[in-house]
Amino acid sequence: MMRSAIVGLGFVFAFGLASAAHAETVTGEVIDTFCYASMGAKGSSHKQCGIDCAKKGIPVGLLEKGSDKVYVLLPSKDKEPLPDGLVQKMGSDATVTGKVLAKNGSTFLTVESFK
């Protein structure tokens, strides 16, 4: 009986908690991930290029203030685009609230709201 409880608890930790998303609010600069990763491009001088890249399908990220951690931004629902108002903040700071998801070393943040 005790062994079954331990095994069951092990499954909860291995599968339930490891993949559980939690809500978080992150502030940082909206970036296009291609130009940031390949050239370090960011800031207001890169705004239009970043918007153009996002419109062509390059993933948009949020470069967290202080930690420089990059969150790949995801829409709040499957088969939906990111809010255009957030893409227009390219090269500027934004505060995004959503669910943090981590998979194989990558960190994602769903966009539930932003300002």
pLDDT tens, 45-68?
Answer: 999 999 999 999 999 999 999 999
Residue of higher predicted confidence among 12 and 25: 25
Using alpha carbons only, what angle is made at residue 33 by residues 58 and 91, rounded to the nearest 5 degrees? 100
Measured between alpha carbons, how far is 101 from 1 in angstroms, rounded to an integer? 34
Sign of CA dihedral 9, 13, 16, 17: positive
| Fold category of 22-114 in CATH | OB fold (Dihydrolipoamide Acetyltransferase, E2P) (2.40.50)
Assigned token pair, 23: 């809500």
**Per-residue confidence at 11, pLDDT binned at 50, 70, 90?**
very low
Enumerate the domain spans of the chain: 22-114
**Per-residue confidence at 33, pLDDT binned at 50, 70, 90?**
very high
Determine what percent of the chain is predicted with pLDDT higher than 90. Answer: 80
**Residue 5 above 70 pLDDT?**
no
Determine what percent of the chain is predicted with pLDDT higher than 70. Answer: 83
Buried/exposed code over 1-37 (b: 16+ C-beta within 10 A; e: otherwise): eeeeeeeeeeeeeeeeeeeeeeeeebebbbbbbbbbe
pTM for the full predicted model: 0.82
Write down the mean pLDDT value for the chain.
88
